[in-house]
Structure 1
Amino acid sequence: MRASRGVAVSESRHRGEPVAEGRSREEPVAGSRGQVVSASRGQVVSASRGDVVKAERSHESREEAVKLVAPLDAFGHDDLAVAGGKGANLGELVRKGLPVPGGFVVTTHAYGQVAQGHDTREHFERAELPAGLRQAIADAYAGLGGGPVAVRSSATAEDLPGAAFAGQQDTYLNVVGEEALFDAVRRCWGSLWTERAIAYRAKLAIDSSGVRIAVVVQSMVEADTAGVMFTANPVTGDRAQLVIDASSGLGEAVVSGLVTPDHYVIGASGHTDFTPGRREVVIRGASGGGVARETGAAATAERLPDAVIEELARLGRDVAAHFGRPQDIEWAYAGGRVHLLQARPMTALPPPPVGKLNPIQRRLATVLLEYLPERPYPIDVTTWLPYGPAGLMAKVTSSFGIHGAFENFLREEDGVVYQLVPPKPHPTPRMLATPFRFLAKARRYDPARWTEDPRYRHYLGRARELASRDLGSLPWERLVRVPREALDIVQPVADLRMDYLPGSGLALLRLLVTVRLLGRREWFGDLLFGARTRTTDANEALERLAEVAERTGALDAGPLPAAFEAELGAFLAEYGHRETSSPILVTPPTWADAPEAVLGLVKALAGTPPEKKEGDEALDRLLRHPRLRPERRRARVRRWVAAARAGVAFREDSHFSFTLPQPVLRRSLLEIGRRLVDVWVLDRPEDVFHLRLEELEAIGDVTALPTDDKERLREKVRSRAAKREELSGVRLIDPAVVFPSRATGDALLTGSPASGGVATGPVKLIRQPADFGKLNGGDVLVCPYTNPSWTPLFQQAAAVVVDTGGAASHAAIVAREYGIPAVMGTGTGTSVLQDGEIVTVDGGAGTVARAT
């Protein structure tokens, strides 16, 4: 069923009274780029800030030629500024010869005549139309036959990625008579200045001072059946399918969600799946004007004829092909003919389905989803993502003969990441020599001694020197080079990874084979718990910080005590570069950038933490094995366990150290953003995240940036921000593809078994670091993702349930360390489970069930 677009349809029994259609949608027209043109001055005004620049002469001459009122076919692709989004789009369809009801546009010139600098709804609803404009509208109305018409708002600020303006301006149906038409036009103008429309524009950073509105007037189509057609599946994103929703009477019943419509899904082959609706309400034109509701009158109406479905599908594909992107089309069927009433680009459309994943793709997707809890910005895509941990792993896997494991897995649209496509790594001839290189490196490079490597020491020196710079005092030409310096510092780290990972992998494999041969495979994870890592150090430092907080009263309301602030400052100096959400993105804040996340952890840890498993206990149990009675075998196993723990420590500690330049990179970008704010390019420093690194590096002297360049940068930021807003509710990939559903039986959901045991407790949804302080002892922690920054919470949780990740993730490892059940990769845990719900988590079976 199509979601409701706004309010219910009002009824009118008064002759000629215009009736709101439910705040009909406003449509962008393909090709425009979010600028609006002042009809009175012939100037282009930036929708983001309102700076005025000269328009092209051809556009100015076109404006001068357009009258106050003109037929639909007078407008097209380039006339957003005069006809608004709806008018320009409909003009395109008329010019293409598609079946659009006849009509005309009251242009933005007319609006400008009446506005006279006023921007309130009350002004327009009381305003007198100039005599010449009244006559022009009356003549055009007479040209349509003087019968009932639909009067639709058509604002200029509509061709913005992610800004459909659905329901923001008004539409009036079945308007009868000149005076009723004049009144409807005034009301459409006034709807540009409702609180909801102003707030919507403010949300999208659209300068209201530059927005104008036209009005589209069309012959009313008294539909037998009407509805909406999507030229791509709005749920799955499948571009090969068309989806049609239909019901009896006017399409407003479908648009406003007043009915459960008939639902048609048309495949590429033409096969149609049909689900009948219920037709709870039918909306028709009233005899004296306005519309009226009927209930139950058409509950048994039959489905659309096949010929009509085929005609709609053909028209839909034609419209989509013409505009070059999937379309959202309103249509009506009357008197044996199909009419197209509106068309606009589909917004918030999910990415196309990626198809079935092979096991390697699924494993990589599991890792990538855990690392990408939020949509990357353009600056992420051009900085930390390809050069940070993901880029390093791409180099490492490539060095061992596997190409494409961590590369080219993101797709962009309109400059914004819109889809994650799991990569398909493949072997190269270099892989033939990998076993020999692997063994050679394992013998030469001991993970237990990697911090003694001169390359690591050199790296630390460069990272510390970069972190010590006063970015605010650097001239622009030096500041703009800092991001690239930070990225360059990290690159030699790939060599360290390539050299020491073989030893780590070999040590872990050797221990795994040993415990398997001894029949103690289940002890493998426990044996690794003795590894001393920087994550362990950070967690223990947090425990001490929580003790200080309790002792000094830092958890009470009011300013933080000086003693606690000093301890917190020391903690952030050592561990503040840890990520809050993603290790492969630069835009999310670190602990130092968002100390409130650390305070949330401190609050969660207040009290006595549970006992942690001890790795030495597992080792003692293993050494008591009958086959390990000879001391030399016991000594060998001790060495192998120590080597495996060193391998685990290398994985954790190298990540900890190699993210040191990330905060410097982030701070330099924000300083660049601050200076762009100073010269009126950005509204706030964080807007710099919408730009790419090469776009920043191309700026010469920021204080002498030409006006055209400023406008170009502003427009990129505005359009990308709007596109990102459009995609805010759209996932990068369907979780069901990565985490296929399994038979749950009585369970609420299933996932990958990650840490054994069974625990029961209340669900506590923790969606982001800002929520850390909400966790109480004994809660079942349910979250969308985890990383090392989240793991201190495991000391208080009874169990862990995560949407992403697998048995080898940080969350799973730490959950096993603390001996609590963990279920990873549920895909939908945060949407299925509710706060406070009592559930039982079986970490061995990978299930979450309602407690009985």
Structure 2
Amino acid sequence: MAGGKGANLGELVRNGLPVPRGFVVTTHAYDQVAQGHTGRAYFEQVELPDDLRQAVLDAYAELGAGPVAVRSSATAEDLPGAAFAGQQDTYLNVVGAEALLDAVRRCWGSLWTDRAVAYRARLGIDDVSIAVVVQSMVEADTAGVMFTANPVSGDRTQLVIDASSGLGEAVVSGLVTPDHYVVDAEGGVEFTAGRREVVIRGKAGGGVTREAGVTGERLPDAVVEELAELGRRVAGHFGRPQDIEWAWAGGRVYLLQARPMTALPPPPVGRLNPIRRRLATVLVEYVPVRPYPIDMSTWLPYGPAGLMGKVTGAFGLHSAFEGFLREEDGVVYALVPPEPRPTIRVLAAPFRVAAKARRYDPARWTEDPRFLDYLAAVRRLAARDLAAMPWEELVRVPRQTFALVAPVADLRVDYLPRTGLALLRLLVTVKLLRRGALFGGLLFGAVTRTSEANEALVRLAELARRTGALDADPPSAEFQAAFQEFMTEYGHRETASPILVTPPTWADDPETVRGLIRMLAAEPHQRKETDDALERLLDHPLLRHPRRRARMRRWVAATRAGIAFREDSHFYFTMPQPILRRSLVELGRRLCDKGVLDQPEDVFHLRLEELESFQDTAADRARLREVARARAVKREELAGTRLIDPAAVFPAVQGGDALITGSPASGGITTGPVKVIREPAEFGKLESGDVLVCPYTNPSWTPLFQRAAAVVVDSGGAASHAAIVAREYGIPAVMGTGTGTSVLEDGRLVTVNGDAGTVTEAA
């Protein structure tokens, strides 16, 4: 009834905060006048019904019939993430009954300006009304805006106050460079003087005037202290950071309005210790896009991340992969690297690791009956017709996929110990032999499902080039059959993240695969020559004896088998992911049919438990629609903010004349033009010899390495999948640059030094 602004002011009054007296012309009054009409012109000339006109004038008289501020208060302003700042009109220093009624009409009409209509359309808001707030005018000596969190850094312990002479409109509308105060949690104040270019003041007969700015004194310390105390009270009451307009007049502070801060960056994580930073490099690569609520309630806790949490927990380390994503209004807003906690079980971990390493050989893991049972169960579930299931059966499919992958944690617990010990043994050995630089090159060589997928893509590309399939419509039957066979085997590969269900798989987005084929078909495939690290190691004087050489070959083979287990277990354990995604999209399609959602993928804004508890009633349909809409608006608000500051995870390193620096991941130096690829849909842009610059990688990106001259990645480290594959293809790689995709641009000629971890301007 009061709209977002009016409702918030009512809360402030109810809690005894200093708000100017006023009243609200409710949304009911607007609806009574609108009678289904839209458009600004209608409202600016419409006559108010007699009873409404008299009610407004009576309330005005009770205020003293003096100057007032008239502010629009749309109903959608209380949606999380919908600031509506400046979208509807405000009129200051309104004097007289007729001027007041005219201001109310113009506020109503401002709901239908082009900018307001376009703003609502962008946020998907189609049901809106408007109230009007009328407040006694405060002729401020100084006024401005206060944020109860730092809008730049996201620090929730700081308040930021902007102030200038006269009415706060000069600050709100950006007409002045205001005085700037940053107040910390202990009350310390950092002050930066503004220029106060313009002063806005009320005129005697109504309206406002602009005057040339004058140098003013900074706010008294007591006023800054009072503002900070009031700001914290308001934020505490609403339970979230607030954007507050305030005024100081006649020695008193007034709060003129308060609304939630929007587009607020996540809080700074501070200095990360080595363990948290190491975890962060993994998590940032695994969460390259903002998870949806359905991710948070499905694949994130039950898929690979949840399984790794169980694995680390089995060896006495808790909280390594849990609780690292923070939500607000049901939407993820921050990634906070967790702090792993050892438990008493960690004391027994060495004995468990040793026992399992003796018993479970990663080279034979696919013979394990548990794995074979898992594969059979996945194939049975994949063969079911989701579209033919009744709702009650379909809504159970997600948890059936969770049940499938639950035993996978046991396989990881059993087979990873020998993998880890093999890696440690090889690393220690090459270090003792003073051949540590060869370690990375020794890790590749095993045949994996990823390498098989890449080779299959090359064969598809050669077939496409030979038959002209990419230019034919339709492609040849031979190509179509080969393409379908490829998708049947590899279509469950993720495009963005293995721990999120919402990004499409290759099967969901076959155009991604066609882009890869198009890129690979551009010229005949020539596999890059790679350095045989094993033969170089075996040339060591201490390894000339046949038995020592044989032992070293066994150790390298065991290490590669462990690497293959890590790679292939990931390949197989993500097989239920597309089944889960299809079941969720099918649920979304049915909710579209019921008018709950506008498109099937809007189901991603809901949580699984909300789908499971859904009752097909008018009230439940409306409730679910409102929940999805509010979260969509919140997600849109956060679209421009990062989950975590890259500098906290990948601190800048001084690199002389380097454009960017990162972790050396694959040796060599090469020069080529930059090609920034931000998402799988852009795979086809890469040309042979380009320097691939991307925000993240995963196995589905590795076919690009067959054409790239070098790889530069915002996230990841030397042990990441991308680094290993880059070494296999013999191309330089620099990982964890943090800012590569924002600093480098297409076509720029750069030199990538994979040994030093630098990217410089080509000479």
Contact kept in structure 1, 2:443 and 2:724, CA below 8 Å: no
Note the C-alpha offset of 1:573: 1.1
Change (3 A) 1:95 1:530: closer
- Secondary structure at the counterpart of residue 506 of structure 2: coil
Partner of 2:19: 100
Matches for 1:418-433 after TM superposition, within 5 Å: 418-433=333-348
Report how far residue 654 of structure 1 moved.
0.9
Would you say the 8 A contact 1:591–1:598 is kept in 2? yes
Q: Which residue is 1:377 aligned to?
A: 292
SS of corresponding position for 2:640: coil
1:524 corresponds in structure 2 to 439
**CA 1:131–1:432: 2 relative to 1, 3 Å:** closer
Between the aligned partners of 1:137 and 1:278, the Cα distance in structure 2 is: 40
Aligned partner of 2:379 in structure 1 is: 464
Residue aligning to 1:22 = none
What letter is aligned with 1:770?
Answer: A
Q: Deviations over 1:404-457 (max 9, x none)?
A: 221222222222222222222232232223223222222222211211222211
The residue aligned with 1:818 is: 729
3-state secondary structure, aligned to 1:227: strand
In the TM superposition, what is the alpha-carbon distance from 1:488 to its structure 2 partner? 0.8
Alignment of 1:347-746 (within 5 A): 347-556=262-471, 560-605=475-520, 606-609=522-525, 611-614=527-530, 617-699=532-614, 705-746=616-657
One-letter amino acid of the counterpart of residue 457, structure 1:
L
> Per-residue CA shift, 1:141-187, capped at 9, x if unaligned?
44444444322111122211111212221112233443333222211
Q: Where does residue 291 of structure 1 map in the other structure?
A: 208
Residue 797 in structure 1 maps to residue 708 in structure 2: yes
Correspondence for 1:77 = none
Deviation at 1:480, TM superposition (A): 1.8
Name the CA shift for 1:407/1:180 in 2 (closer, same or farther; >3 Å): same
In structure 2, what is the Cα distance between the partners aligned to 1:695 and 1:456?
32
CA contact (8 A) 2:750 2:760 kept: yes
| 1:39-64 deviation per Cα after TM superposition (whole angstroms, max 9, x unaligned) | xxxxxxxxxxxxxxxxxxxxxxxxxx
Structure 1 CA distance for aligned equivalents of residues 139 and 477 of structure 2: 74
* Aligned residue number for residue 117 of structure 2: 198
Q: Which residue, out of 189, 193, 200, partners 1:276?
A: 193
Contact 2:40 2:112 in 1 (8 A): yes
- Which residue of structure 2 aligns with residue 56 of structure 1? none
The 3-state SS of whatever aligns with 1:727 is: helix
Structure 2 residue 696 is matched with structure 1 residue 777:
no
- Distance, in Å, in 2 between the alignment partners of 1:748 and 1:279 is 38
**Identity percentage of aligned residues:** 76
- Distance in 1 between the 2:702 and 2:202 partners? 62
Structure 1 unaligned spans of 5+? 1-80
Q: Distance in 2 between matches of 1:362 and 1:181?
A: 59
2:759 aligned residue: 848
Q: Is 1:128 matched up with 2:47?
A: yes
- Tell me which moved more, 637-646 or 807-816: 637-646
Q: Quick one: distance in 1 between partners of 2:193 and 2:377?
A: 67
Indicate if the aligned counterparts of 2:530 and 2:730 stay in contact, CA closer than 8 A: no
Distance in 2, matches of 1:584 and 1:98, equals 46
- After superposition, the Cα gap between the structure-2 partners of 1:511 and 1:126, relative to the gap in structure 1 and judged at 3 Å, is same
Whether 1:117 and 2:32 are equivalent positions in the alignment is: no
Distance 1:634 1:723, change over 3 A: same
Q: Which amino acid in structure 2 is aligned with residue 90 of structure 1?
A: L
Indicate the RMSD between aligned Cα atoms, in angstroms: 2.2
**How big is each residue's C-alpha offset from its partner over 1:70-119, in whole Å with a ceiling of 9 and x where there is no partner?**
xxxxxxxxxxx2x2222222233234343323333222232223212212
The 1-side partners of 2:631 and 2:424 are apart by 46
2:80 is matched with which residue? 161
CA contact (8 A) 1:382 1:692 kept: yes
CA distance in 1, matches of 2:487, 2:561: 26
Task: Select the residue among 194, 205, 222 that pairs with 2:139.
Answer: 222
1 CA distance for matches of 2:175 and 2:694? 35
Equivalent-residue separation in structure 1 for 2:477 and 2:112 (angstroms): 51
Tell me, in whole angstroms, the C-alpha distance in 2 between the residues paired with 1:553 and 1:258.
61
Give yes or no for contact 1:530–1:614 (8 Å, CA) kept in 2. no
CA contact 1:147–1:176 (8 Å) conserved in 2? yes
**Aligned partners of 1:749 and 1:826 also within 8 Å:** yes
Secondary structure of 1:422 counterpart:
coil
Please report how far the alpha carbon of residue 350 of structure 1 lies from its aligned counterpart in structure 2 after TM superposition: 2.7
Deviation of residue 399 (structure 1)? 1.8
Counterpart position of 2:746:
835
Cα deviations by residue, 1:587-616 (Å, 9 ceiling, x for unpaired) = 11100001111122223322244533446x
For residues 610 and 333 of structure 1, what CA distance do their matches in structure 2 show? 73
- Tell me if the contact between 1:802 and 1:825 (Cα under 8 Å) persists in the aligned partners: yes
Question: In the alignment, is the contact (CA less than 8 A) between 1:613 and 1:817 conserved in 2?
Answer: no
Matched ranges for 1:163-178 at <5 A: 163-178=82-97
Query: In structure 1, the residue corresponding to 2:639 is in which secondary structure?
Result: coil
1:338 to 1:545, Cα distance in 2 relative to 1, 3 A:
same
Q: Is the 8 A contact 1:612 1:817 kept in 2?
A: no
Residues 217 and 763 (structure 1), Cα distance of their counterparts in 2 relative to 1, 3 Å cut = same
Output the TM-score relative to the length of structure 2. Answer: 0.95
Deviates more, 1:310-319 or 1:589-598: 310-319
Instruction: Note the C-alpha offset of 1:458.
Output: 1.3
Contact 2:462 2:524 in 1 (8 A): no
Q: Normalized against structure 1, the TM-score is what?
A: 0.85
Report the count of equivalent residues: 762
Paired residue for 1:89, among 2, 5, 8? 8
Q: Which whole-Å CA distance do the structure 1 matches of 2:162 and 2:607 have between them?
A: 40
Separation in 1, partners of 2:421, 2:225: 62
> Matches of 2:656 and 2:249 in 1, distance apart?
50
Confirm or deny that 1:237 pairs with 2:148.
no
Q: Relative to structure 1, is the Cα distance of residues 344 and 654 closer, same or farther in structure 2, using a 3 angstrom cutoff?
A: same
Quickly say closer, same or farther: Cα 1:318–1:632, change in 2 above 3 A: closer
Letter in 2 for 1:342: Q
**Contact 2:530 2:729 (8 Å CA) reproduced:** no
Q: For the residues of structure 2 that align with 1:411 and 1:196, how far apart are their CA atoms?
A: 33
CA spacing shift, 1:571–1:357, aligned 2, 3 Å:
same
- Report deviation, 1:287: 5.2
Tell me how far 1:470 sits from its aligned partner.
0.9
Quick one: structure 1 residues 588 and 175, their matched pair in 2 at CA, closer, same or farther if it must change by over 3 Å? same
- Asked if 2 retains the 8 angstrom alpha-carbon contact of 1:156 and 1:212, the reply is yes
Whole-angstrom distance in 2 between the partners of 1:781 and 1:280: 47
SS in 1 for 2:625: helix
* 1:791 Cα deviation after fit: 1.4
Following superposition of structure 1 onto structure 2, how do residues 304-343 of structure 1 map, counting pairs within 5 Å? 304-343=219-258
Alpha-carbon separation, structure 2, partners of 1:405 and 1:471 = 35
Question: Is the 8 Å Cα contact of residues 326 and 346 (structure 1) preserved in structure 2?
Answer: yes
